[in-house]
Structure formats: C-alpha cells, structure tokens
Chains A and B, each alone.
Chain A
Amino acid sequence: MSGLHKVSSNPHVRARATTASIMGTVLIALLPAAAFGVYNFGPRAALLILISVASAVLTEYLFERLCKKKVTVGDLSAAVTGLLLALNLPVSAPWWIPILGSFFAIFVVKLLFGGLGQNFVNPALAGRCFLLISFPAIMTDFNCDAYAGATPLAAIKAGESVNVMDMILGRTAGTIGETSMIAIVLGACILILAGIIDLNVPGSYIVSFTVFAALFAALTGRTVNGPYLSAQLAGGGLMLGAFFMATDYVTRPITKKGQYVYGIFLGFMTAVFRIFGASAEGVSYAILLGNLLVPLIEKYTMPKCFGKGGERS
C-alpha cells in the first residue's frame, strides 16, 4: 500500500509511444502500397521513392544544422512526408520533381512554420499540390511502360467502363502508391491495430463521400450502381488520402465531434471536385481545404469543461 502514497507531479500515466515509434509504424504501414507501386510500375518507382525520402530528410537536416536548431530527423516525420509525396507522383516524373516537392513540403510548409506540429496543412499534400499547379503536364502524365491511356477515374468521367477488380488489386495507371486499394487497406489495418489511427476520420470521410458521390452522380444524370460507386471508392487517391493523409495528427481536428465534421466535409468536397470539377481527382485539394478549416471546426466542437456547460436559470 505504501507504494501508492508516492507524491509526484503530473503526468501520472505515460504511454510508451514516441513520435519516432508512431512515424516508424506509419512507414511500415505504407510499405505494402510502396512495394506494390514498385511491383506495378518497375524499378523507376523505387528510385523516385528513394529520391523523395532522401531529399525530405536532407532538407530537414540541413535546415536545422544551418539554423543551429535541434536536429529532428530522428523522429522520422520527414521520412513519412517524403514517402507520402513519392506515392503521390506519377512514375514518369523526372528525377528533380520529388526533390522540388520534398523541399517545398519540408522547408516552406513545415519548417518555416515552426516544424512538426506547427504546420497548418499536410506537408506532403501541399508539396504535391505545389507540383501539380507548377507542372500540370508532368504531374498528370500517367503513361508508362506498363500502362497507357487514362486513369480509371478519368475513364469514368469520360463515360467509359472500367474493370473494378483491376482497380481494387491495383493493376491500373495512376500515381505510384494510390492504385492498389488492397495494399493501402492492408497498411491501414496495421495502423488501426497498432492504435495509431482510429476510424473517426477515414470512416466518416468514406461514408460521406459515397453518399454525396451517389447523390451528385444521380443529379448529373449518370446511372448510379454498384460498379460505379466501387470504382469511385477504389479509384484515385481516396483510400490513400482517407487513411494516411486525412488522419495526420497535426492537421486533423483533435475533438471527436470535430473529426466527424471534418470527415464529412472531406467526403462532400471530394465528391464535388470529382463530379463537378474539371479534373477527375479532387482528394488532395479536399484535404488541404479541410486542413484550413480545422481551427474553425475545433473552435465550435471543443467540449465544455465539467461544470461550465448547460443553461443556468
């Protein structure tokens, strides 16, 4: 009993998780998608992934050395950013694309705002959108040795039929890491089982996307059926975005209610971009837009302290 009377200041309950262990798990969870990308698109995909991760880590290391700050590359967050960015690139991208994207993601979006925890949008996505706006021709050129022609989402948008089984397995054109729904969901299961993420954001995102996509597709006079919706779900960056980017600790709301609001908003915006937008894909912009709304969402969903709530008569 006497052991229980030890007096100490808080925190009294500690978890063993560190930033490095969480980010390490995320890296492991991204491996299936990355490995499938290399299998699907060939060794060039591996090269792009390597360049992207290396330049992200190097940018952070050099910045912190030059500014005489504590070097934080050991927390692996830069490696995760670099890997996520690479998974969002087409395999035909030239070698300097991942370098520029990683530099923008790490230096401008993350380090200039104060480092990990201070970035107001997801660095990997901001890096991708920077590249997408700057080099639209390179970033949407999905022709490679293995596949020629449009991505499944572009084909659906053009009214052509697609092979849903191929999309779920990942045997389609697209960015390096987005094509295989199975590999991504496998990685997501690792994250969920390890307790790194929960289903609040991805669940509400995917459900709300399905509802709004069906609604908007019906409004625009398409036939909404099982294959159409499963193709929308398996195609593009939805799965990668929902499980690995929308769940980013730094840029999602911290309140549970807020996470549902955030997920529903992401689903709504993705459906709007995909069905009414000029381009076939809209996950990146939807999540960036959602990131910007997070402070507002948190402000209105913050739970009240015990004793502070309720009406007084």
Chain B
Amino acid sequence: MNKKESAGERLLNGIIVENPTFVLTLGMCPTLAVTTSAVNGLGMGLTTMAVLALSNLIISLLRNIIPDKVRIPAFIVIIASFVTIMQLLLEGFLPSLYESLGIYIPLIVVNCIILGRAEAYASKRPALLSLFDGIGMGLGFSLALTCIGAVRELLGAGEIFGVRIMPQSFVPISIFVMAPGAFFVLAALTAGMNAVKKAGEKRGRDMSRIRTGCDLDCSHCGQSAGCTKPEKEG
C-alpha cells in the first residue's frame, strides 16, 4: 500500500477496490450458506461488519501489547468476544433473524475476512484507520451478500426483502434458494464485476486499482509474513 491512506479511502477500498466477496473471495462459507434471501444476506453482512469494525479497533489498540508469537490466539479471543456479544444482542432483539442465521452466527469467529483484516491490517496500523478499514470491509461484505441474497430470492421465490416482484404466474426456480444457486449467483455477479472493470479499461479509465478475483499476489495475503513460498512462482 503505497498510496495515502485515509478514513474515506479505507471505506472505498473495502466496498469496491478490495471487496471481500467479489475481489478477495474471502468468507465464502457465510456467503454461500446464508444468502437465501436479501434479509438474511443483509443481516449476516451487518453482523459481520459490527464484529469486524470493533475487533479491528481493539486489535489495533492492543497491537503493541500482544506478543507476536501468540497473536493469532489473542485475535481469536477478541473476535470471539465480540461475536458472543452480537449473538446475544441478535437473540434478544432480532429473534427471527437469529433463528434464520442459526449456526452461522457463532461461525463468524472463524470468518477469514475478520482474521485476515486483523492480521494484515489492524495489527500494523493506527486505531482510527483500522476502524474504518473494518467498516469499509464490512460494508463491502454486506453489499455483496445483500446483492447475492436479492438475486437468489428474486429467482428462487419471486420476491426481494419479502416483497413480491415477479408476476403471480412466475414459477419460482427453487434451485436458486438451494446450495447450487449460491454458486451460480456468486459466479455471475463476480463475472459482472469483472466485466464492468474491463469495460472501464476500454474507455481509457484507470481501473488498475480495482483488482479481480484471480490477480492478487502474496502481498495481499494475511499469511505472507509466515509463508515460505517465494513471492513469484516461476
């Protein structure tokens, strides 16, 4: 990251440039599993965003205290605490969302976006930037999950956010609310994002900042510090 980092830049980075779902393809388990409707996708995204922002903030504040050797367990403890808080809040105030997200709420602990941002960003940067990095990444994740959920709900049930969109004669294509549909929609939306990038390049705009799913190098990987693989595969 050579360019100047600011709170706004971090937000944009998370939502578009390094969108965790369509660009980094991280956190695939909740992406594929809970996006059966737009509400579920949005709920999962916002829950993850809250955990991501708070854990980034705390980890960044504690970055000089946590010993390097036990940093991963320390991160997990911090993340798990926030996930537990979120889980209890959801159970108390949004019981229907809590029911439909089910096991995937505790599983936010092992969401690789959160651990990835902690390891790659928050453990090295000041607190405010880390907070906004978490919010940006969380917004990008929420946006992606809501989009996937909306498309799946539209095709698989004829509705978006529970509002009937398709005409009554539309027969729901139920495969889209089952597991295979998640893969179809994720692939189609990622391809759409790549197509937008390509079209922008054609018109001469500088799109090099927006990466696509497959052209990341080691410097974006949270594990690159401890990884023995050479940077460039020959």
Contacts and interface: CB of A to CB of B under 8 A. Distances in A.
A100 B171 CA distance: 12
Contacts of A135: 171, 173-174
A100 B173 CA distance: 10
Contacts of B174: 133-135
A108 interface: yes
Interface string B86-121: 000000000000000000000000000000000000
Interface residues of A, number: 8
Interface string B35-70: 000000000000000000000000000000000000
Contacts of B175: 130, 133-134
A274 B174 CA distance: 24
Most chain B CB neighbours (cut-off 10 Å) among A100, A108, A134, A138: A134
A298 to B, nearest CB: 25
Interface in A106-140: 108, 130, 133-135, 138
B7 interface: no
Interface in B165-206: 171, 173-176, 178, 180, 184
B195 to A, nearest CB: 12
Contacts of B180: 133
A130 to B, nearest CB: 6
Nearest to B187: A112
User: Majority SS of interface residues in chain A?
Assistant: helix
A89 to B, nearest CB: 15
Nearest to B174: A134
Contacts of A94: 171
A134 B174 CA distance: 5
A134 B175 CA distance: 5
A108 B187 CA distance: 11
A138 B175 CA distance: 14
Nearest to B177: A134
B86 to A, nearest CB: 34
Interface string B6-41: 000000000000000000000000000000000000
B178 A133 contact: yes
B173 A134 contact: yes
Contacts of A100: 173
Nearest to B156: A134
A11 to B, nearest CB: 35
A133 B180 CA distance: 10
A134 B156 CA distance: 9
Nearest to A100: B173
A108 B174 CA distance: 17
Contacts of B171: 94, 135, 138
A160 to B, nearest CB: 30
A222 B171 CA distance: 40
A108 B175 CA distance: 14
A138 B176 CA distance: 17
Interface in B133-188: 171, 173-176, 178, 180, 184
A138 B173 CA distance: 12
Interface string A88-104: 00000010000010000
A240 to B, nearest CB: 23
Interface string A72-99: 0000000000000000000000100000
A130 B183 CA distance: 13
B115 to A, nearest CB: 32
Nearest to A137: B171
Most chain A CB neighbours (cut-off 10 Å) among B171, B176, B178, B180: B171
Nearest to A130: B175
B220 to A, nearest CB: 27
Contacts of B173: 100, 134-135
A177 B180 CA distance: 28
A100 B174 CA distance: 13
B170 to A, nearest CB: 10
A94 B173 CA distance: 14
Interface string A208-245: 00000000000000000000000000000000000000
A88 B174 CA distance: 20
A133 B172 CA distance: 11
13 contacts: A100-B173, A108-B184, A130-B175, A133-B174, A133-B178, A133-B180, A134-B173, A134-B174, A134-B175, A134-B176, A135-B171, A135-B174, A138-B171
Closest 10 CB pairs of A and B: A134-B175, A134-B173, A133-B175, A134-B174, A130-B175, A135-B171, A133-B178, A133-B174, A108-B184, A133-B180
Interface of A: 94, 100, 108, 130, 133-135, 138
Given A100-B173, A134-B175, 9 more contacts: A94-B171, A130-B175, A133-B175, A133-B178, A134-B173, A134-B174, A135-B171, A135-B173, A135-B174
